[in-house]
Structure 1
Amino acid sequence: MDKLDAVVIGAGVVGLAVARALALAGREVLVLEKNSRFGEETSARNSEVIHAGFYYPQNSLKAQTCVRGNQLLYDYAKQHQIAHQACGKLIVASSTEQLAALKKLQQQALDNHCQPLQWLDESQVKALEPELQAKAALFSPATGIIDSHGLMQALLTDLEAAGGQLVTANQVTGGCLTSNKKNLEIDGYSLTANLIVNAAGLHAPALASKLHPPASWIPKPYFARGQYFSLTGKQPFKHLIYPLPEKAGLGIHLTLDLQGRARFGPDVEWLATDNAEELDYGADPSRLDAFAEAVSRYWPKLDKSKLTADYTGIRPKIAPPTSDAADFYLAGEEHHACPGVMHLFGIESPGLTAALALAEVVVERLLKTGN
């Protein structure tokens, strides 16, 4: 049985960020990824937005790591020449009934120590984005977009430069993690490690259940699929456009890619399965009318004939549809009595923005208990 120093399971953006941070802390790191390439699931199927951190409850891990991660990510992108743009975002109130909620969001940005959101009245919105319909809007200057693949490639390059290694097409199928034993089974061979991080994203709860005895600290997984539609031809906007957030997501918003092309989404479709191996990423053109209706509330001139069903992503939820969104959940020794082991659950949005800050938190906690 091979004895290793540190193993990170999962090569999405958070797994790679954690592995890089461990390697920079002087640990010998192996990343195990079940797919043939890094970042093929949640990290490759999102809006590629750099969030500012104002959507999340005050003092939550999401808020803390998003606000810190925002600045870390901009700095990292500049240092590593990763394509990005601080284009800013408008969060709109389409009716007077939504103005109170918009004010509440502005206050939450202050509570979370984000860069303040600027209030724009109807005429100011029109001056900034003439085709946008809104009674008022908040302008977030700290919101932007980034090339997520370029980010993950840079993290991997840093990891390898620090002596770490990524091994793809190697799935962790089982093992045993206890107070005195840390074994992993990987496609027919076994290894043990001083430090182990489960950053398997959609598969993290199921993997934890394979590695530990059944326990209440392992959350039940829930999956919410989000569809995106792309817009053919030119679009008139210079900023990202978001409605007010919904219970399970941020609403069907307009995002831009780095070439200025527009896409809309994601919506929220709760899936019946709790098995990550059964997830379906197929696009659903029949959702077009619902998308067009939602978008037309803030962009009345939308020509829905120019919308085309694009990709889908799946959120790794750990709270059911009837509950508010859960915070990021880091399960360490205090949960499972296994020092040097950390499980990352519910790493949905703003996981991309928070990745570098989350890596700091994970590594700090892990090195206090590991050896």
Structure 2
Amino acid sequence: MVDEPSVLSTVDAGVATLTLNRPKSINALDHPMVTAMDELLRDWASDTQVSAVVLVGAGERGLCAGGDIVAIHRDASALSSSGAGDAEAAACPSALFWADEYRLNADIARYPKPYVAIMDGIVMGGGVGVSAHANTRVVTDRTRLAMPEVGIGFVPDVGGTHLLARVPDNLGVYAGLTAGQLSGADAIELGLADHYVPAADLEAFRRAIGETSLDDALAKYAQEPPESKIAGQREWITQAFAADSIAEIIDRCSAAGTDDAKKSAATIAAKSPLALAVTLRSLRQAEPTLPETLKREYRVSLRSLLNPDMAEGIRAQVIDKDRNPAWRHTDHAAVTAAEVDAFFAPLPDGLELVINPAPQEDSSV
């Protein structure tokens, strides 16, 4: 039996549909998928017969659960235990994947045609990267969106720190440090999505894009989202996550006294102190543009491969599943500024991420 391609494409009535097609892994991204997406999007950008692109995920579970972290674990384990440096990290398969993935994220953010991301079901990590930078972002009643990287000793990437840093009232800092799942309504509240379409209407909505127009389809099927749970917690989140250190954020969450606040304190306290400190720095000192942020995230991602916490976090959560990681630090207050600085230091000549020119629409008719 021949396996289906991991990325499917169709064009009908001027609408190109790009389907992530690994439903058994909730369409987790790998390098061939990123390459295929890039080629299709560049072709469609210059195809005068294509008026819009729609991104969907195969199966019932979600758009995309992120990247293939089992493969990343192999690289992180080998590099962090061998005393390797930046050059070795940049040459490994995970880094080559990230470089192309981050370039794809930049391309999506500046796509010259309507790019409609259907963010139904699970949308995490790399799934956020291929959807939340879109110019038209649709969530549903089944959406469960998260940047869960700190849970495995990593740091939000794929432009996630660019998105979260711009959310008012520290709600983005909360999402990045707790790695919690956001509903579709939450995603709209945080500015990570634009439109709410009930999952039951998705098929009709997608069909209407080609039969009428994107604007008409949205006018017919998009609804006001239900109340966002995170919006109701804005006051204590704003105060607690304004603190300058992870240790103080934990203390403020505990002092806030609500069940959700105390749960957040416990959730953060259990994660990698170093990864959390690097994440907080990334969110507090966000770059002004997405390409600049992606270049910085690439540095941080390479240094994360060299940090034992990433290999240990993936081991505990995904490989052995004992949920008991032995982090490099046992005390959040013990992380030094110098340790955090090292993640952001410029890479040696020739290793920095280079962002491709944007896909260009062919205006000739």
Bin the TM-score by the shorter chain: under 0.3
Q: Greater helix percent: which structure?
A: 2
- TM-score of the aligned structures, taking structure 1 as reference length: 0.24
Higher relative contact order (CA 8 A, sep 6+): 1
- TM-score of the aligned structures, taking structure 2 as reference length: 0.25
